[in-house]
Amino acid sequence: MVTKLLIVVFALSLSVNSFAQQISSDYKTTTVYITATDINVRETPPEKGLILIGGPGKVVFELKKDTPVIVVEKKVIESVFSKTIWVKIKVQNSKKEEEGWIYWGNDDEKSVNLRLKGVK
C-alpha cells in the first residue's frame, strides 16, 4: 500500500513540475528603451520602391526625450541605394494606446533614436 502511495505521489510531482516548467518557458522579458531625443512618431514607416524609398506616414504624436518605450515590431526597408530600419514602438506607461513607427537607423545593433534602459 505504501509503495502504491509513493508511486502516485511521485507521478503527481512529475506532472506538477512539467506544468511549472511550461509556465516559466512561456514567460518573456520585455526590453525597455528610452528616447535619446525628442522624436516624431509616425503612422507608418516609409514604403519601399523599386529604386528609392518613399517617405514615412504622417506624424501621429511626439515623444519627449527620456520617454520609456517598448519595441513591438521591426521592419527593414531596402532599396538599391540604401537600407533603413524602422521600429513600431509602444509608449510604456501611457494611459492610452500610443503606438507608432520611428526610425531605428541603419545598424541592427544600435539605434540612433533609442537607448537601452533595461529589462522589464
pLDDT in tens, 64-106: 999 999 999 999 988 777 788 999 999 998 878 899 999 999 8
For the chain, which domains are there? 31-119 (2.30.30)
Query: Residue 4 pLDDT more than 70?
Result: no
Residue 19 has what pLDDT? 39
Nearest to 63 by CA among 115, 18, 108, 17: 115
Identify whether the C-beta of residue 46 lies closer than 8 Å to the C-beta of residue 78: no
Separation of alpha carbons 23 and 88, rounded Å? 28
Q: Alpha-carbon dihedral of residues 97, 98, 101, 105, nearest 10 degrees?
A: -120
Separation of alpha carbons 40 and 37, rounded Å? 10
pLDDT in tens, 15-52: 444 434 444 344 456 789 999 999 999 999 988 766 65
Separation of alpha carbons 111 and 107, rounded Å? 7
